[in-house]
Each structure stands twice: as structure tokens, then as C-alpha cells.
Amino acid sequence: MSKIIIYEHINFQGMSKEFTSSVSNLVSENFNDCISSLKVIGEPWVAYEHTNFQGSQYVYEEGEYATVERNYTFSSLEKVTEDLANPQITLYEHTNYRGRSLVFTTETNLCYGNFNDVASSHKVQRGAWVLYEHINRSGAQLVARVSRDMPEYGWFNDRVSHLRPLKPGKPIITAEIQWNQKEEHVNTVVIDSLCGLNHGDHEQSFSTEMNKEYEASVTDSFSFSNSTQISWGTSFGVDMGVVKAEQNFPLSNTFTVEKGSSNTRTERKTYQPKSKEVDVMVPVKLTIVTGSQSKVEYGQYRCQSGNSITTEHWVPS
């Protein structure tokens, strides 16, 4: 869940309050003009100088801010709820969307082209953007959002020198195993040879009637779909408690998956003389929640038990 935590003093000291929805008037929350540091979890937030989302604007994406640009000046807070994927904005040279226009989909420094200090209106096709008065994200800010097209900037006309799209917060991923679609293949393990080892100083007898143990591997793996929307470095856990209990697998019940890293683990387990090879494959439904946006995709969990079985028998000295 997207939220903002505001603090009375810098470095997250003093009184604090937490909000999960926009606040038009911090006076009624007894926290007006006293914010000096804040933390944002999830989607970005916009802090305003005055109540009812008026006055100078300051944008904060997910992260911790030990200090803010204007201590003790914020009177309202607004949560950004747009889908921030695949952003696009059109800037116009004159007011009312007239004159030359340029379309942007990525952060741009306008000083490197012929549109610096030219724009006076805009339309946002997707996402949310921040327009800056100066280069390198400096100077006054103007937030541009879908369904809030601006036909005129007022004093901000002909002042835009830099713009960038807002980034979504880290997604929350929930893995749900689709047990009703499980595929399981079981094969009988044929042990055709035993290796007898003499661990003592004297010759010892070998008997097939003695207790024997067989060692085999258990391998977990997870594969993403080709069209996955999950970014590299994102990790989440898959609870495999049921399949572990059913098959008596020795691995831990939680299998951690990370996009961009190896999603396979192999451990050894000990079998008694009778054993079997088990290959379990089951679809996993991944629910990806980013701010107010929720998307679903599927991956596949696989667990193989009993592969590459080796046997050993030894008599202690």
C-alpha cells in the first residue's frame, strides 16, 4: 500500500503522522507548516505549499528524505494514483495547445534542443510528469498528470527547461500456487549396483542384508513467462509447504525467486532402499500490485526429487 510518513523535524525526529490517501488540509490534521522530513513507500506523493493542493509543488518518489526543500511550509499532500508505466506527454509552444509541439516518453534536458523555455501548455497521454524551471531538476516544479491537461501555465509560460516522468514504487508481488493444475510424474528408481567400502584396517565382509542408505538430489526451479512485467532484481517468496509435505522433500517450505538471478536450488537427501523419482510442475499465479494498479501473470514452479541417485555401503572399523 502506498503511504507517506511525515515528521516534525529533520532526520525523522519529533512528532510524525502517516497517510495512505490525499490530505487537502493539514490544518485539520494538526500538522500544518511543520514538515521537515518524510518517507514515501510505494507511489509518489506531491506536497503543496497551501491547502487544497494549491501553491508551489514538490514531488517525492519512494524513498527516505531526511530533509525537504522547504521546511515548515507544506499544507496539503496528494497521492499520485496514475499508472506510471509507459509515460508520454506532449508540450506545446503556445497556450491552448497551439504552435509547435514535441512528444516525450523519457526524461529530457530541453537545453540540448530548440524547445528550451518555449512551452506554455501540455497534454499528458500516459503517466505523470514533473516540469522544471531549470536544468538538472532544479528551480520551480509543475506536476503534469493524465486528465489534468493545462492550456496555460501562467507565470510558468516559456520557463520549462527540464522534464521527467515519475517512477512507480516497488511492486508488491503475491505468489499463488495453482494446485488444481499440478502435473506430477513418478518413476521407479532402479538401483543396479552397490559400492562396498572398507573403512577399517582389516579386511571385512560385505553383506547386502546390512542396512543401506541411498543419497539423491532434490532440485527446485522457477521460470518466468516470456512476457513478464517484473523488473530485474525484484524478489519474492513462493510458499511450497503443501508439495513439500506431500512428497516429504527436505528443502525449506519457502522458495525465494529473484528476476535476473538463478532461480534453481539443489540439495541432497537420504533415501531408504526403496525410492522413487518425482517431478512436480505447477503453475504459479503472480499478482503484481504497484500503487493502485494491479496486474496478473503466470510462472511455473518445478521440483525434482530423486535424480542422479548414488548408493554407498560401508562398515565402520
pLDDT tens digits in sequence order for the chain, 317 residues long = 789 999 999 999 999 999 999 999 999 999 999 999 999 999 999 999 999 999 999 999 999 999 998 889 999 999 999 999 899 999 999 999 999 999 999 999 999 999 999 999 999 999 999 999 999 999 999 999 998 999 999 999 999 999 999 999 888 899 999 989 999 888 876 655 555 556 666 665 554 444 456 667 788 899 999 888 888 889 999 887 755 445 555 556 788 999 999 899 887 776 555 567 888 999 999 998 887 778 899 999 998 877 665 555 555 55
- At position 141, the amino acid (one-letter code) is Q
Give the pLDDT confidence of 136-168 residue by residue, as tens digits. 999 999 999 998 999 999 999 999 999 999 999
Backbone angles phi, psi at 128, to 5 degrees: -140, 145
Give the pLDDT confidence of 185-233 residue by residue, as tens digits. 888 766 555 555 566 666 655 544 444 566 677 888 999 998 888 888 8
Edge-to-edge, what's the strand order for the sheet holding 13-19? 13-19, 3-9, 37-41, 63-65
Using DSSP, how many helices (H) and how many strands (E) does the chain show? 1, 23
Domains in the chain, please, with CATH? 3-79 (2.60.20.10), 88-165 (2.60.20.10), 172-315 (2.170.15)
Assessment of whether the complete model's pTM goes beyond 0.75: no
